Amino acid sequence: MIRFVVRRLAGLVLVLFAVSLAVFALFNVIPGGDPALRLAGRHPTQQNIAQIRHDWGFDRPLPVQYLDMMDHLVIRRDIISYQDQTPVMPTIETGVPRTLSLAVGAAILWLVFGVTIGVLSGLNAGRWLDRVLTVVALTGISIPIFWLGMVLLYLFTYRYRDVGVFSWIPIGGYASWSDPIEWAKHLIVPWCVLAVVSIGFYARVVRASLLDARGADHVRTARAMGLSRSRVLFRHALRTSLIPVVTLFGLDFGATVGGTVILIEKVFGIGGVGQYAQESVAHLDLPPLMAITLYGAAIVVVANAAVDIAYAWLDPRIRVA
C-alpha cells in the first residue's frame, strides 16, 4: 500500500510537469498569444512594445521563461496576471473551495441517487417502476445542463420566488463554508443541476450491471445456499456490480471539475476556479491558466488515486500482491 501511494505521488509530479509544459508550449505557438502587444495598449510604438517585452522578460529564451514562470508559480507563489496585473494565487485560492464545494456536493448527489435509482430499476426490471425510472433517467441524460440551470434559476428566483418553498433560494453567488446552512442554500440548485445528467447515466449503468450480476453464477450459488434476499442482493450481486460505477466515477469526476462545473459556475455566478479559467482563456492570460491547469490536474490525479484505492477494496483481484 505504501509503495502504491509513493508511486502515485511520483506519478503526480510527472503529470503536473507534463501538463505545465504542454500549456506553456501551446500558449507560445497560438496566434495572438503575444501578451506584450496587448499589455502595450491601443496605439503602442515599437519601443513601447520592446520595453514591455524586456520588463516582463518576454525577450528571454523560452526555457528560461518557463522556469521563471514555474518559480513564481510554485515556489514564490506571487505570479501576476498579464490581463489585469493582479496576483493570481489569491483569486484561485478563493475559487478552489467554491469549485470543490460544487463538484463534491454534486458528486455525492449523483452517486447516491444514481445508484439508488439504478438498483430500484434493476430489481423491478421490466415492471412499471423500471419503465418510469428509465424515462426519468433518459430525460436526465438528455437535458442540456446550462439550459436547465437557467430555467431553474428563472423559475425559483424570479417567476415563483413568492412561493414559500422557493423563497429561501438565493439568486446565485456563494456563501462561505463557515456558515454551512447559507453555504448549502446557495449550492443546492447548482448541485442538482450538475448532478442530473450523471444521475441518469449512473442509473442506467447500475441497472445493467445489476441485471448482469443477478444472472451470475456466484449469485446463483448464494441463492442455492439459502441466503436471504437482501444478503444475496447487497453482499453478492450489488457489490460486484458497483465495480464499473467506481471506474466511471474516476473518469467523470475529473471531467466534471474540468468541464461541466465551468458552465454551472457561470450560470449561478459562483465565482469558482472554472469561471476564472473561462475568463483567462478568453483573455489569453497565461499565468492564471498555468496555475489553474496545475491545480486541476492535481485534483484529478488525486481523485483517480482515491478511485483506485476504492477499486482495490471492491475487487481483490486487482490488488497488487
Chain residues in the site for other proteins (CB under 8 A): 216-229, 231, 235-236, 239-240, 314-317
Q: What secondary structure letter does DSSP report for 202?
A: H
319: CB partners within 8 A, 6+ apart: 312
Instruction: Output the CA angle 248-251-255, nearest 5 degrees.
Output: 130
Tell me the closest approach of the beta carbon of residue 219 to other proteins, in angstroms: 8
- Angstrom distance (rounded) from CA 262 to CA 315: 34
Q: Which is nearer to other proteins, 40 or 237 (CB)?
A: 237
Q: Which is nearer to other proteins, 241 or 293 (CB)?
A: 241
Q: Which is nearer to other proteins, 19 or 233 (CB)?
A: 233
CB 200 within 8 A of CB 207: no
Tell me the closest approach of the beta carbon of residue 225 to other proteins, in angstroms: 4
Q: Which is nearer to other proteins, 42 or 317 (CB)?
A: 317
Give the HSE-up count for residue 280: Cα atoms under 13 Å, Cβ half-sphere. 26
Tell me the closest approach of the beta carbon of residue 313 to other proteins, in angstroms: 9
Q: Which is nearer to other proteins, 76 or 229 (CB)?
A: 229
- Concatenate the DSSP letters of all residues of 230-244 into one string: HHIIIIIIIHHHTHH
Tell me the closest approach of the beta carbon of residue 319 to other proteins, in angstroms: 9
305: its cell numbers: 488515486
- Angstrom distance (rounded) from CA 267 to CA 261: 10
Tell me the closest approach of the beta carbon of residue 4 to other proteins, in angstroms: 18
